[in-house]
Amino acid sequence: MIKINENYLNLEQNYLFPAIAKKVKEYREKHPSADIISLGIGDVTRPLPRACVEALHKASDEMACEKTFRGYGPEQGYSFLIEDIIKNDYEAFGIELSPQEVFVSDGAKCDVGNIQEIFSTDITVAVADPVYPVYLDTNIMAGRKVLKLPCLAENGFAPKIPDFKADLIYLCSPNNPTGAVLNKEQLKEWVDYAKKNGSVIIFDSAYKEYIRQADLPRSIYEIEGAKEVAIEVRSFSKTAGFTGLRCAYMVVPLALKGAGKGKDVLLNDLWRRRHCTKFNGVPYIVQRAAQAVYSEQGKKEVKQLIEYYMTNAAIIKKGLSSLGLTVYGGENAPYIWLKLPNGLKSFDFFDILLSRANVVGTPGSGFGECGEGYFRLTSFGSRENTLKAVERIEKLKL
C-alpha cells in the first residue's frame, strides 16, 4: 500500500467547522422542526453589494463576447485590481507598495494555509492559543514544530513575546476568535522581535474593516520596518460578502528575505514561483467584483454592511452582558468571546445552547486549550436571528 504523509495522523480528527456542522446535522435529523439559528462559523448572510453584483453582470457579458472574452489571467491577479488595492488599502494610509508585492488569491484561508510551503520544515512556528485552526493544522501537516502563545483575559488576549526563538509567527488582528486587536506598541514589539531573531510574521488582517477605534493599526506595515519581516493577508470575504465568491490578497514585500543554499532569497520570488505553479488566478468576473468594492458606491455599501454586522455585535454583547456574563470582543471585531459561567466547558455549553435554545456557536476549546471555558458567537447572522438568539439565550437563565 502507498505510504501516507504521517503528519496528517497528528491532526485532530476533523477540521473544527465541519465537525460542528456534523453535530448540527445530527441534531437536525433528530429534531426536524427545530428552528436552528447559526451564530457559529463566521459566514456572512447579507447579499453582495449592488456595486459588486453589477460588476459581475458586466464582466459576465464580456465573457460572452468574442472580443472581450478572457481566458487565463495573470496568476498574480489583474493589474486593475492590484492597483486599486494599493491605492485604497495602502496609499490611503500612507503605505507604499509596488504592484509586484500584491498577490490576488481565492481566499485568506488558502493563503495562510499555503504560505508555510515556502519555508523549511525544520523551523519553529509560533501560533496564538486560541487560534484560527488553519495556521496550526497546515504546519502540523508539514511536520513542523509548533509552539503555542497563550492568549489570556489578563493580557487582553494578546500573545506575549516569547522567551524562545520562533522563526515563523502567525498574528491575527482583529483576532479570530477573541475579537481582540493588537495596538501599535504591541505590534512594534513583534516587529522588533522578528528583526532581532530573523523571524517572519504572517499578519492576518482579514477583519481590518471592523476596526472602529482610530488609533488601532489595520496593517502591520503601519509599523516602521515591518516590510522587512512581515507578510500580510487580507480578504474580501468578511468585508464585502465574498465568502461564496472567493477573493483575497496577500502582500509579500520585496524587502523580505530568507536563507537557503548559502544565499539570501527573496520570499516574493519564492511565493511568485509557487503561485504560478499551483494557481491559475481568480476568475476575471470575481476580480471585477472585487474591484467594485473600491468604487464610491462599493465603499458606501461596504460601510453599511460593516455597520449592520457591528450593530449585531453590539446587540449580542449588550444582551449577554446584561445577564451578568463576561463578554469580550465585538467592539473592533465581528466576534464575541463569551466567558462561560459556573466553570462550564465549551463543548458542554455548545450542547446546551443547541438543545435548549436551538442556537449554534463555536466552542472556544475548538480553537485551542486556552479557549476552554469560552464560547464564540458571530455577528454575521441576520438582525432578526441575532435578536432571536439573544432572547433565547436570556431565557436559559445561565
Degrees to nearest 5, angle at CA 386 with 385 and 387: 90
Distant-in-sequence, close-in-space partners of 93: CB < 8 Å, separation ≥ 6: 218, 219, 222
Cell output for 72: 487565463
Does 227 contact ligand MLT by CB under 6 A? Answer: no
Amino acid at 2: I
Q: Whose Cβ is closer to ligand MLT: residue 109's or residue 148's? A: 109
Choose between 287 and 379: whose C-beta lies nearer to ligand MLT.
379
Closest separation in Å from C-beta 195 to ligand MLT: 30
246 binds ligand MLT (CB under 6 A): no
Q: Which of 20, 38, 39, 42 binds ligand MLT (CB under 6 A)?
A: 42
Burial 350-374 (b: 16+ CB within 10 A, else e): beebbeebbbbbbbbbbbbebbbbb
> Is 176 one of the binding residues for ligand MLT (CB under 6 A)?
yes
Cell of 79: 493589474
Please give the Cα distance from 355 to 291 (Å, whole number).
43
Please choose, out of 1-9, 38-46, 157-165, 196-204, the segment that lies near ligand MLT by the rule CB under 6 A. 38-46
CA distance 55 to 1: 50
Which residue has its beta carbon closest to ligand MLT? 42
Site string for ligand MLT, 107-136 (x = CB under 6 A): --x----------------------x----
The residue (of 43 and 192) whose beta carbon lies closer to ligand MLT is 43
Write out the DSSP string of 350-389: HHHIIIII-EE-EEGGGG-GGGTTEEEEES-S-HHHHHHH
Q: For the purposes of burial, counting CB atoms within 10 Å of the CB of 141, is it exposed (0-12), middle (13-18) or buried (19 or more)?
A: middle
Judged by beta carbon, residue 372 or residue 394, the one nearer ligand MLT is 372
Q: How many residues bind ligand MLT (CB under 6 A)?
A: 6
Q: In terms of CB distance, is 103 or 132 closer to ligand MLT?
A: 132
> In this chain, which of 11, 21, 36, 41 binds ligand MLT, going by CB under 6 A?
41
Q: Per rule CB under 6 A, is residue 144 in the interface with ligand MLT?
A: no
Kindly tell me which of 14 and 120 has the beta carbon lying closer to ligand MLT: 14
Strand partners, 264: 259
**Footprint of ligand MLT (CB under 6 A):** 41-43, 109, 132, 176
